[in-house]
Structure 1
Amino acid sequence: MSTKHLLALLSSHIEGDEEQFLSIALQVAAQEARQGRPEDADKLKRLVQKARDQQRAGRPAGGQTPIPLARPRGELQGLVESVYPKVTLASMVLSEEVQSRLTRVVRQQQERATLRDHGQAPTTHMLLVGPPGTGKTMTASALAGELRLPLFTVRLEALFSRFFGETAGKLRLLFDQIAQVRGVYLLDEFDAIGARRGDPNDVGEIRRVLNSVLAFMEEPNTTDSLVLAATNHVEALDEALARRFDEVIEYGLPDRRAGRAILERRLGKFKLASRSWEAIESALEGLSQGELVRAADAVVKDAILEGATKVSLDALEAALQNRQTLKGKFRRQTGR
């Protein structure tokens, strides 16, 4: 252990900041792993997990222990944004397969010490693919909420620099953060940095970034952070990169049953009469979760301002048709 780590441990102990104390212990574990002492690193991680399990078991009934604030500092402030989501997987409408796979990831993370005792590691790298508005970004929030971890959203546009080598340096900062501070990290529009090598539009800097990401994917994740990469264009990803993810989860547009469930949940107390749903089922076809949510929000706002207790069938149908029209115009403009 370095003097810097020892001083930080003592300081956090004196100030009574137990989470900072445990975070520094994980940094020491990461250092041990890098120096070729994996057994010592695993012992430290198991002790930290045991301490956190005891914290969780001792929280007040009906309440939750507060999550310590973890804010990006220094150069990371421009690269990463952090929030503490309260949503969970139960608040999402997902297919049975996606729900089952995400629940399995949560369990692996919660019981990661048990997995390590048997020589296994929990899922830590996930690729989420599918059309816009199908729940990829919300999944990151829900996983963070389930695990009571901060959600760090990486601003990929801030990674790129016109100065040679600076982008790789920023990536190194990000990778160090992931290794040292446990959280859920979302890299949205991942195809921006994971594009195929040899692409006609490829440039040297993009290749260097991709090679850095490939190397990072091979590094041990010492804090068991969850790294989620999301993309609308999986076909653009380099195959070598796609193979390195523990899980690849595909999201699709909701069918009529799922679309109705999304609307009912979003309408809340402004629910529509059951017999009215059949009249608007065809208007749900082809709309994403995000588009359905926005249509529901539009009519709920009007109902609130008008002092109504329910939304009208005509208003909801008009909002859905508006979304269908906008989607059709976009398709014609893009040729998709």
Structure 2
Amino acid sequence: MATADQIKMLIHSHFEDDEDRFNTIVLQLAAYEAQNGHKALARDIRDIIDNSKKKVSKRKVIPFNKDLSDMILVEDSIYKLSNLVVSQDIKEKIKRIIVENKQREKLEKFGLNSRRKILIAGPPGTGKTLTASVLANELNLPICTIMVDKLITKFMGETSVKLRQIFENVKEVPGVYLFDEFDAIGAERSMDNDVGEMRRILNSFLQFIEQDDSNSLIVAATNNPKMLDQALFRRFDDVLHYKLPERDQIKSLILNRLSQYLSSKLDIEKIVDVAKTLSHSEITKACNDAIKELILNDLDSINTALMERMLQERKEAYMPSGGN
């Protein structure tokens, strides 16, 4: 039978809406039952988890224009708001977007529109793409990622036509449409390296997004907000500015990912100090690296030294020893 600690962890993960942790604990329970000779029960538990995942990952049929198939990646998202580690201010703004879109019809009765056009700006790896996935899952919509680089490079000279087709799909097929690396389209029109075609593309985008009255969400993500044309900002209903994680966010990222693997003697404050200047994504990768070390070397737990080493390796990937 499950231990008291496992039962408490299950309850906590359920009410914290932490699906990843919940599934991990359930699989631990299955392994525990198998070790104690209850193999049929362990198999049943695993089957429940597997069947649940299949239902979640079942893809929706999206009737996209065939000409756009290599430019739009369509997926179902499994990420919840609880998976997003950001400041409380940003999380409240995301909650507001979700609530407004869930109650869109209520707002429309009073002549008001929900926030549907969102610009997210911030350093790489801080959760911009994940936010679009969270919005998709929370609103039960597919996440449709526009490959902006392919749109520009492959169809230079007819990009405006392709943009029109994309916005037609935005209207016809409700979803969360993510324009990643958005500065490829939205760069300031007065920049010295600008060319006439790029100005036409930006003007077309401005026109299409302003005219859009669909039930889809349009999310544009950029690492370089200073490069964007100022005319873009007023076309969006909300602008979210992301930053590198602060101490409490770093601690949450590490503890949420490694809770069942950490040594009781782990110095979390020391680890947080080492993790400063890394993005959410890099910290998560360092945690995954530590788990791999634990598994491959048959370690009992992840200690302070191991976690420091994994984080330092991530830092050195950007600032090699001896470099300037």
Matched, 1:199 2:180: no
Q: Tell me how far 1:66 sits from its aligned partner.
A: 6.9
Q: Tell me how far 1:121 sits from its aligned partner.
A: 0.8
Q: Give 2:250's aligned residue.
A: 259
2:267 to 257, 264, 276: 276
Structure 1: state its 5+ residue gaps: 1-62
- Equivalences, count: 269
Alignment of 1:144-183 (within 5 A): 144-160=136-152, 165-183=157-175
Q: Would the aligned equivalents of 2:128 and 2:242 in 1 still touch at CA under 8 Å?
A: yes
Q: Give 1:211's aligned residue.
A: 203
- Residues 272 and 225 (structure 1 numbering): CA distance in 2 closer, same or farther, change over 3 Å? farther
**Identical-residue share of aligned pairs (%):** 36
Q: Give 2:94's aligned residue.
A: 102
Q: Tell me how far 1:329 sits from its aligned partner.
A: 4.1
Matched, 1:123 2:115: yes
RMSD after superposition: 2.1
SS at match of 2:186: coil
TM-score of the pair, normalised by structure 1: 0.75
Alignment of 1:23-172 (within 5 A): 68-70=60-62, 72-160=64-152, 165-172=157-164
Q: Would the aligned equivalents of 1:80 and 1:154 in 2 still touch at CA under 8 Å?
A: yes
Q: Tell me how far 1:253 sits from its aligned partner.
A: 0.8
Q: Would the aligned equivalents of 2:148 and 2:179 in 1 still touch at CA under 8 Å?
A: yes
Q: In structure 2, what residue type is equivalent to 1:255?
A: E
Q: In structure 1, what residue type is equivalent to 2:222?
A: T
TM-score of the pair, normalised by structure 2: 0.78
Q: Deviations over 1:237-289 (max 9, x none)?
A: 00001221100000011112210110111224212436521332320211110
Write the distance in 1 (CA, Å) between the matches of 2:268 and 2:151.
Answer: 46
Q: Would the aligned equivalents of 2:146 and 2:178 in 1 still touch at CA under 8 Å?
A: yes
SS at match of 1:107: helix
1:190 to 182, 185, 193: 182
Q: Give 1:294's aligned residue.
A: 285
Alignment of 1:219-234 (within 5 A): 219-222=211-214, 224-234=215-225
SS at match of 2:319: helix
Q: In structure 2, what residue type is equivalent to 1:250?
A: H
Write the distance in 2 (CA, Å) between the matches of 1:121 and 1:166.
Answer: 32
- Residues 194 and 329 (structure 1 numbering): CA distance in 2 closer, same or farther, change over 3 Å? farther
Q: Tell me how far 1:297 sits from its aligned partner.
A: 0.5
- Residues 67 and 280 (structure 1 numbering): CA distance in 2 closer, same or farther, change over 3 Å? closer
Q: Deviations over 1:178-211 (max 9, x none)?
A: 1111000111110000011121000111001000
Q: Would the aligned equivalents of 2:126 and 2:280 in 1 still touch at CA under 8 Å?
A: yes
